[in-house]
Chain A
Amino acid sequence: MSVLMVKQDMPPTGGYGPVDYRRNLPRRGLSGYSMFGVGVGLMVFGYWRLFRWNRERRRLHIEELEARISLLPLLQAEHDRRTLRMLRENLEEEAVIMKDVGEKMFHTDRWVSPITEELFNLRPREETLRKKFGFLRYV
Chain B
Amino acid sequence: MPGVVDVPTLQELNVVEVNVSSAVLKAAAHHYGSQCDKANKEFMLCRWEEKDPRKCLKEGSKVNECAVNFFRQIKGNCAESFTEYWTCLDYSNLAELRHCRKEQKEFDNCVLEKLGWERPELGDLSKVTKVATSRPLPENPYLSRPRPEPNTPIEAELQPSKHGSRMFFWNW
A contacts, CB < 8 Å to B: 59-60, 62-74, 76-78, 80-81, 83-85, 87-91, 94-95, 98, 101-106, 108-111
Contacts and interface: CB of A to CB of B under 8 A. Distances in A.
A60 to B, nearest CB: 5
Interface of B: 1-5, 7-10, 13, 15, 17-18, 25-26, 29-30, 32-34, 39-41, 43-44, 47, 51-54, 56-57, 60-61, 63-64, 67, 96-98, 120, 122-126, 141-143
Contact of A71 (B10, B32, B64): B32
Given A81-B13, A83-B53, A91-B2, 9 more contacts: A60-B96, A62-B123, A71-B25, A84-B57, A90-B2, A95-B2, A98-B2, A104-B3, A111-B52
10 contacts: A62-B123, A67-B29, A69-B33, A74-B32, A77-B64, A80-B47, A84-B53, A87-B7, A103-B3, A103-B4
Contacts of B8: 84, 88
A134 to B, nearest CB: 14
B89 to A, nearest CB: 10
A84 B126 contact: no
The residue in B10, B18, B40 that gathers the most chain A C-beta atoms within 10 A of its C-beta is B40
